[in-house]
Amino acid sequence: QVQLVESGGGLVQAGGSLRLSCAASGRTLNNYAVGWFRQAPGKEREFVAASRRSGGTTHYVDSVKGRFTISRDNAKNTVYLQMNMLRPEDTAVYLCAADSRLIRNELRNAGAYDYWGQGTQVTVSS
């Protein structure tokens, strides 16, 4: 099993930046596809970004393209989500998820991931 812990959330003004971290233990995260999802109060969990395993392709929801970047640091067994030009509508709990078996068309599906972190709150003020 792999354990995931998110960090880096906080309160930021619109236009600001945050970098979220998803640190893994128990397994080598490079062998897993990793996704970032977010959930705002009263809304469904939404796909944000994903990185295929072993340095494969990255994928983003249209609303964050050009603003968010997902990246890996294999030495630290950590995946990051760099978030720039934040907007109030980005406010949500952000969760990372991992799975060792996903294929490309499953990356955006929260139900396909086996392992989840506890989430970190991101609040963007206007």
For the chain of 126 residues, list the mean pLDDT of each consecutive stretch of 10: 97 98 95 96 96 89 98 96 98 97 89 96 97
Position 56 scores a pLDDT of 81
Position 31 scores a pLDDT of 93
Position 54 scores a pLDDT of 82
Position 96 scores a pLDDT of 98
The β-bridge partners of 73 are 78
DSSP letters spanning 19-70: EEEEEEESS-GGGSEEEEEEE-TTS--EEEEEE-TTT--EEE-GGGTTTEEE
- Sign for the CA dihedral angle at 83, 39, 95, 107 comes to negative
**If 0-12 CB within 10 Å is exposed, 13-18 middle and 19+ buried, where does residue 32 land?**
buried
51, 35, 39, 54: which is closest to 97 by C-alpha?
35
Maximum alpha-carbon separation in the chain: 40
